[in-house]
Structure 1
């Protein structure tokens, strides 16, 4: 599994001539790093008398951050698995009409799943962005830089995931499915852009 590799091992795998892992797994990793940093800020804020007025919210954010971190780590391998299923579908036999029909159906199914997985990554990254702006606002100011990096890495993960959604949509023929996914992508993009801008503005205020 990719998540069992060392940092260096994973980076080398990305740099190889293998088509997977690729941008999708990297996007999930970026999102998980953002979630991890959010949790780090919570750990440096939780239990500190100076921040007693925000303890309940910090505990809630920490719990959400840990869940998002776990989900996004899981998506690192799932994205690569989804890509491999697409490749497997394209390699199915296509000699007879029946084989062609089965192959076409499997390709469509695989591409749908390969679109839905990075969409989950994008949705999770938006949730990380929501946590990032909060910890940047109410967390221990000594970790403001970590909170800001949490936000920008989560936004990078979001953008990467959206690219992967869109590239897979190009092979899908189901118009209802396409309409549903494109609408969801549009909603997420608006939220992510707004949150990213808030994070950048807040970071400038706090860090300079």
Structure 2
């Protein structure tokens, strides 16, 4: 499993001539790093008398961050697994009409799943962005830089995930599915861009 590799091992795997892992797994990793940094800020804020007024919210943010971190870590391998399933579908036999029909159906099924997973990554990254902005606003100012990096890292993960969603759309025939996904992309992009800008403005105020 990719998640069990060392940092250097994972980076070398990305740099290899293997098509997977690729950008989708890297996007999920970026999102998980963003979540982890928000959790870090919570840990440096939690239990501190100076921040007594925000303890309940910080505790809630920490729990949300832990769940998001774990989900995004699962998506690192999930993205690679979904790509492998697409490749398997393309390798199915296509000699007879029945085989061609089955192959086409399996390709569509696998491609849809390979689209839904990075969409989940993108959705999770938007949630991480919300946490990043909040901990940058109310968290221990000594960790403001970490909160800012949480935000920009999550935004990078979001953008990477959206690229991985879009690349699959031209291979999908289901118009209803396509319309739904395209609508979600627009909505998520608007949310992510707004949160990213707010984080950058806040970071400039707090970090400099």
User: Shorter chain as normaliser: what TM range?
Assistant: over 0.9
Query: Aligned residue for 1:170?
Result: 170
Q: How much has 1:77 moved relative to structure 2? A: 0.2
Structure-2 separation of matches of 1:28 and 1:98: 37
Query: Aligned residue for 1:142?
Result: 142
Query: Aligned residue for 2:36?
Result: 36
Q: Deviations over 1:174-196 (max 9, x none)?
A: 00000000001110000000000
Query: Aligned residue for 1:160?
Result: 160
SS in 2 for 1:13: helix
Unaligned runs of 5+ in 1: none
Query: Aligned residue for 1:190?
Result: 190
Query: Aligned residue for 2:94?
Result: 94
Structure-1 separation of matches of 2:201 and 2:125: 19
Structure-2 separation of matches of 1:27 and 1:132: 17
Unaligned runs of 5+ in 2: none
Structure-1 separation of matches of 2:22 and 2:40: 27
Equivalences for residues 1-208 of structure 1 within 5 A: 1-208=1-208
Structure-1 separation of matches of 2:165 and 2:201: 28
Q: How much has 1:170 moved relative to structure 2? A: 1.2
Structure-2 separation of matches of 1:170 and 1:81: 20
TM-score (norm 2): 1.00
TM-score (norm 1): 1.00
Structure-2 separation of matches of 1:199 and 1:44: 19
Q: Deviations over 1:92-111 (max 9, x none)?
A: 00000000000000000000
Structure-2 separation of matches of 1:112 and 1:95: 24
Q: Runs ≥4 in structure 1, deviation > 6 angstroms?
A: none
Q: Between Structure 1 and Structure 2, how many residues are aligned? A: 208
Structure-2 separation of matches of 1:86 and 1:122: 20
Structure-1 separation of matches of 2:184 and 2:117: 13
Q: Deviations over 1:127-164 (max 9, x none)?
A: 00000000000000000000000000000000000000
Give the root-mean-square deviation of aligned CA atoms: 0.3
Structure-1 separation of matches of 2:168 and 2:121: 14
SS in 2 for 1:53: helix
Structure-1 separation of matches of 2:205 and 2:164: 33
